[in-house]
Copies of this chain bind each other. A is one copy, B any other.
């Protein structure tokens, strides 16, 4: 669900960047623009269900809503720890806001500095970070459902093996020795690729790392601050046009493309969709606040 979708300053009631991904009742929040806590309430989402928060980069419109959200969690009596992934200075900001406001948190924060690669995983999802191309150090995030792993009984039989506890180790990706013989996961396991893959760029120019991260994605949420009519400004400010977002969608062959981080100058956004459509994604739309994009697994 999109909570806020506008660029830099809130405009046309679009709110500042924040996206809530929900998987089996667990919430993963990407960016926390000012006003996120209010939008979560409007959307009737419980902040207790948010397990992890991911921040793309340290421009204020992407994280100024975090201190209020964290304080609201205490007011609501949260006990469950919260995972926060973001640039190092985000942690400084959290500490500073808590110090000056005297906020005594009722729960623990497990902060992890974002680096490229896997930054988070739980029983539902894996989240990887990748560098994007912006005016400051910035990351995009790729979230995918855990690959499903099944034991192929036929392969097992052919190798003359019997089921045993070693299978759990294989499922965790380890290579094991059974009856004096080396067995790799792929020897006896079927690994289904992730059924859902969502990629969020944060702020970026069109970027080869995004193309790689988004290959075959179910949904690509891409910076589309400007129309191609303002391509020069997009280059200068290190953002993308809707047309460029369409190009990235085409190169990575995504199913759906959501245009995000829209400049206040575009009240009517149909032009942006027209521009991005040439990328050939099956669906192309401009993300709107409280818009829910449901994906069947």
Contact = CB atoms under 8 A, between A and B. Distances in A.
Contacts of A67: 60, 64
Nearest to A59: B101
A37 B58 CA distance: 19
A61 B70 CA distance: 12
Given A34-B35, A35-B35, A68-B64, A11 B41 contact: yes
A103 B60 contact: yes
A100 interface: yes
Interface stretch (A85-93, A188-196, A218-226): A85-93
A38 interface: yes
A74 to B, nearest CB: 10
Interface in A35-64: 35, 37-38, 41-42, 58-61, 63-64
B72 A9 contact: yes
Contact of A35 (B38, B71, B89, B93): B38
Interface string A204-233: 000000000000000000000000000000
Interface of A: 8-11, 13, 15-16, 34-35, 37-38, 41-42, 58-61, 63-65, 67-68, 71-72, 75-76, 89-90, 92-93, 96-97, 99-103, 136
22 contacts: A9-B37, A9-B75, A10-B37, A13-B38, A15-B38, A34-B35, A34-B64, A34-B65, A58-B100, A59-B102, A60-B67, A60-B71, A60-B97, A60-B103, A61-B68, A64-B64, A64-B101, A89-B100, A90-B100, A92-B96, A93-B100, A102-B136
